[in-house]
Amino acid sequence: MFVVQQRKAKLEGYVQTLAAMDELIDFAAMAAAVDKACPRADRSKGGRPPYPTEALVRMVFLQGLYNLSDEQCEHQVLDRMSF
């Protein structure tokens, strides 16, 4: 019973942190700056489309905030919509 309450409180803390981060950081502007500095290859010949730059920038911030490796960050993002 207490474990469920603790888990819920911890998840709510994550959501609050992410909401505050979203208010403070303009991820769209950062993604545009990344795209300008490092343009992506032309995908007109085919291949899997890349992830949006804004999503990747957000993931880099999450990795730094929660001290996650690439694999851990990917797992967290796939596991929870709030992440």
Q: What is the spatial distance between Cα 49 and Cα 47, in angstroms, rounded to a whole number?
A: 6
* pTM > 0.85: yes or no: no
pLDDT one-digit tens code per residue, 42-52: 877 888 888 89
pLDDT one-digit tens code per residue, 66-82: 899 999 998 888 887 66
Residue 31 Cα distances to 3, 27, 79, angstroms = 38, 6, 24
Tokens 């949006």 appear where?
A: 52
Work out the average pLDDT over 6-29.
Answer: 81
